[in-house]
A and B are shown apart, each in its own frame.
Chain A
């Protein structure tokens, strides 16, 4: 078995200890280790480096799901994707989030991998996710050890893609993140957590810990869905993700959110959908109009290969997501009906 490079390891048991350790560490040398499904192989292949790992497996608070005010649900950052995808509360009220968790990688990996790790997943690009030897042979890239982009040769900004499954449905669900550091806690919407630079696509400060994801209770009449594109039936990172939340009241659309991911660094929330859908039934024509809008607004790059094919599949994937929405049952939905 290929060995890991030499690493110092600590395993704190409280959030305070974790953020203290982060604050002491040299940025770039310290990495958090939860499931390790992405970090460990990347360390072995020299995709990324670290000198010190802080293990999160013993921080009980990070492993819990907690009920919050106004029927919100707080999911600890170290809850595994397998647990998330099976939790009855999540399955009933945030079905797109549960579905996304169930689509990640493979059963073995989902039992290790965590929600926090999925949100903080390093961006991916076929010129970046290679060994140190491979990248060196190509002279590096904007994301690591180089000054050229091999996807957009004239580009000055890294276009590596956010290839995680959970961000799009979390954005569509209006989820918020609870972050901690020695400077104190803060909250941020998932949509605002991401930044449009593939070299570093999120705004987590080097001394910050993602503690919890807050899922707000869905409005009555909410329906949600998630679909993703990949070459194989399992294991592969997504080549496109589509998450939709639609609130339907008396058979007409009151609100609609569609988020498309695995294009660039930030999951893209489609614009102008209200004009197409709100006040109308979610029929074939409306679904087709939203799918056409998605095609106009989404432009996959060669960061993950097969750009033309992925472009062609945007519309059917959006349409299919809208065709297969599931009810997100708010706790008091029955009484409202």
Chain B
């Protein structure tokens, strides 16, 4: 197996045949089970907690509350505004106590016996209301009222650009919140060894950040903490920051001396959330008569929920990531994230930029209509070129967006369908770009973002030690392919060790589509270093013989064989202004979608018949996995477009915290997805590779919205495009084609 082979991901067989052992499958002698006590109120101060009845229940070992974990935490060092257990609940489901008992049933019963005296406070659920001066203060650790972050940036002369436009479209959009709904709920197991320290096994995408926060909050030296990440049953961003329950199992293990497991129920996963932020977006976009985009004015109000999570970054991404693939001559953004008494929002696949992408791409479609231009042609006339900087100064070293447009246009038979299908059927197009990792780590430091160690011995086996997070997306397959390519070994001779902070060098984790770029480059460097040393002693022609022969020669001549490689980002690709590093990436992927839909005008139900997706990932190291990411992204976008919503009752209760009520698309709701890989190569990526895990989601929602417009002439500016909303928009039916 080498780069570009169409070999399936070996871990996929384990997953679909039930062989994978997830965190909740693990059990240890003497293990206790923990359960969180959660607030039934959207906003309430804990006046007192009486745990006597719970502690009196046979089998209960401990009950902890806010006082036991007083240090605030949070993934972003500047906004550490939550506690493992809250002294003031800020949303329905906010945990305020945690019990540990001999088994899960006892823990459930004990949690119900914990008597909390509440002082119920007024709550606020909408961001606009939260920003009013008289609004209740949601989070006292916020620096400015109910504002997590507010960003105002301007590039070029926007007013002049819009004034000089032949057409300016202004529109407003409401993007509903959605959640990740990974199949595997969060689970953590704490183990305390007085000699060795604390080990936490957890369903985390970021073992390194969890490691740091465990040490800080539990007041342990970092060298006394170990984090193990078992195979994940999906993450999608929902497991990419330290969580209170992880701190609780650490604390309870230290208190009781026993292993302590806490697995969230599905309902609790909805409360833990950290999913897609609801946003209200106002866009103005101008163009000249000949279809050249001029200026874009973007204002975004972001509903953050009760805690900051990654919200500081979200607030930048919500504005900064609409400036490609189309060139703008002026751009102004004004984005604000407000705290509300709801489950905290955070990063979900396409963090912060899926919402503005929806608004931007539908606005481009409106502009094409206003100018009487084909929307693909309008996009084609504005493509940024490789080597160019965006209006907000991000360097784009490679772009295959033009190819992406060509591919979806041809494959979908666009020219014969757009504005020509019978009433009720339509096609829509949209495009996007996305980062291949963030240029800067979450906490400032000069160390590499990713490192890999290789060990080779006389058996011919190569072991790769990487701190990267395997969550089904194929880290192991990617690293194996690189090692096989560079060292000529068979895939069966490669072992990949990930997800253990004791065994692997630091990698910042599985988020922001960074792993192929960063861990891939680190592995490539280590493998090339090793190959060079083997060649020195075994001869330049060592690859013509079985690699184990060369390894034996090398081990005899050089002693133990190993190599390290690391990767850090280039420092000349971002903007030279405050915030100009956030959104900057070593490389950007590009995507185009065409959606074809049928609208049932009597019921309002929308069926997506087909999705054509072309994605520029630079180079597909494992094409099957890239296609899987394209399909999975398109599927996830489809779910957000048609079905999903984090909806709340006026009391602050989640309307339906279950997979039945939340309603992910089923197989029957999922269209054929035609995944097309565009490979132009990027100078920074390993073998030219860029990201593929998040970018392909972005255009699916606006492509469907634009297709619905093509089908029945309505603009749906609020998500999801539920049948009720579609039917309401159709009544009275606008004049359209018939």
Binding site for B on A (CB under 8 A): 1-3, 5-6, 45, 106, 126, 129-131, 133-134, 136-138, 229, 231-237, 306, 308-309, 312-313, 316-317
Contacts and interface: CB of A to CB of B under 8 A. Distances in A.
A125 to B, nearest CB: 12
Given A137-B92, A232-B663, A233-B669, A126 B41 contact: no
A233 B653 contact: no
B667 A234 contact: yes
B651 A138 contact: yes
Chain B CB count within 10 A is highest, among A133, A136, A138, A235, for A133
B602 A316 contact: yes
A126 B656 contact: yes
A231 B661 contact: no
Interface in B342-393: none
Interface in B707-738: 722-724, 727-728, 731
A233 B606 CA distance: 12
Nearest to A136: B40
Contact of A137 (B653, B722, B728): B653
Given A2-B265, A232-B669, A309-B728, 13 more contacts: A45-B267, A133-B267, A137-B40, A138-B649, A138-B651, A229-B603, A231-B722, A232-B643, A232-B666, A306-B722, A313-B727, A316-B602, A316-B603
A229 B643 CA distance: 15
Contacts of B653: 134, 137-138
B258 interface: no
B666 A235 contact: yes
B267 A131 contact: yes
A196 B41 CA distance: 33
Contact of B727 (A5, A133, A237, A309): A309
Nearest to A44: B265
Interface string B90-107: 001000000000011100
6 closest A-B pairs by beta carbon, nearest first, are: A233-B668, A309-B724, A137-B40, A316-B602, A234-B666, A306-B724
Contacts of A316: 602-603
Contacts of B658: 45, 130
Contacts of B669: 232-233
Interface string B641-653: 0010000010101
B26 interface: no
A232 B724 contact: no
B640 to A, nearest CB: 14
Nearest to A319: B602
A3 B669 CA distance: 31
Contacts of B267: 45, 131, 133-134
Contact of B660 (A2, A131, A137, A236): A236
B666 A233 contact: yes
Given A5-B105, A126-B655, A309-B723, A137 B41 contact: yes
B661 A126 contact: yes
Nearest to B656: A126
Interface in B268-282: none
Nearest to B649: A138
Nearest to B603: A313
19 contacts: A6-B105, A106-B666, A126-B655, A130-B658, A131-B267, A134-B653, A134-B657, A136-B40, A137-B651, A232-B663, A232-B665, A306-B722, A306-B724, A309-B722, A309-B724, A309-B728, A313-B602, A313-B604, A316-B602
Contacts of A133: 38, 40, 267
Contacts of A137: 40-41, 92, 651, 653
Contacts of B661: 126, 129
Given A137-B653, A229-B603, A236 B105 contact: no
Interface string B616-629: 00000000000000
Q: What bracket does the count of chain B residues touching chain A fall in?
A: 35 or more
Interface of B: 24, 38, 40-41, 92, 103-105, 265, 267, 602-604, 643, 649, 651, 653-658, 660-661, 663, 665-669, 722-724, 727-728, 731
Contact of A231 (B105, B663, B728): B663
Contacts of B655: 126
Contacts of A5: 105
B657 A3 contact: no
A39 to B, nearest CB: 15
A309 B604 CA distance: 9
A45 to B, nearest CB: 7
A136 B665 CA distance: 30
A232 B684 CA distance: 43
Contacts of B602: 313, 316
A36 to B, nearest CB: 16
A134 B271 CA distance: 11
Contacts of B103: 3
A75 to B, nearest CB: 27
A3 B668 contact: no
Contacts of B731: 312
A130 B660 CA distance: 11
A232 B723 contact: no
Contacts of A129: 660-661
Nearest to B668: A233
A44 to B, nearest CB: 8
A306 B645 CA distance: 14
Contacts of B724: 306, 308-309
Contact of A3 (B104, B603, B722): B104
A43 to B, nearest CB: 12
Contacts of A237: 660
A236 B663 contact: yes
Contacts of A130: 656-658
A312 B723 CA distance: 11
Contacts of A309: 604, 722-724, 727-728
Contacts of B105: 3, 5-6
A309 B92 CA distance: 29
Contacts of B727: 309, 312-313
Nearest to B655: A126
Contacts of A308: 724, 728
A236 B643 CA distance: 12
B730 to A, nearest CB: 10
Contacts of B665: 232
A3 B24 CA distance: 12
A84 to B, nearest CB: 21
A136 B643 CA distance: 27
A266 B602 CA distance: 26
Contacts of A138: 649, 651, 653
A137 B649 CA distance: 11
A309 B731 CA distance: 12
Contacts of A312: 604, 727, 731
A317 B665 CA distance: 22
A262 to B, nearest CB: 15
B433 to A, nearest CB: 31
Contacts of A234: 666-668
A104 to B, nearest CB: 13
Contacts of B649: 138
Tell which of A6, A137, A229, A313 has the most Cβ of chain B within 10 Å.
A137
Contacts of B656: 126, 130
A123 to B, nearest CB: 15
A200 to B, nearest CB: 22
A140 to B, nearest CB: 12
Contacts of A233: 666-669
Most-contacted residue by chain B among A129, A308, A312 (CB, 10 A): A312
B38 to A, nearest CB: 7
A112 to B, nearest CB: 16
A6 B59 CA distance: 15
Task: Give the residue among A5, A136, A231, A308 with the most B Cβ atoms within 10 A.
Answer: A231
Contacts of A106: 666
A173 B706 CA distance: 45
A297 B727 CA distance: 21
A235 B92 CA distance: 28
Contacts of A306: 722-724
